[in-house]
Amino acid sequence: MTEQAVQIVGAILILVGFVLSQLRRLAQDSYPYLLANLAGAIILTVDAWRGRQWGFVLLEGVWSLVSLWGVVARGARAPH
Residue 80: predicted pLDDT: 63
Which run of H or E residues covers position 28?
A: none
Report how far Cα 80 is from the mean position of its chain's Cα atoms: 26
Q: CA 47 to CA 1: how far, in whole Å? A: 12
3-state secondary structure of 2: coil
Per-residue pLDDT tens over the stretch 7-63: 999 999 999 999 999 999 999 999 999 999 999 999 999 999 999 999 999 999 999
Asked if 70 contacts 34 with a C-beta cutoff of 8 angstroms, the reply is yes
Q: CA 14 to CA 44: how far, in whole Å? A: 10
Give the pTM.
0.90
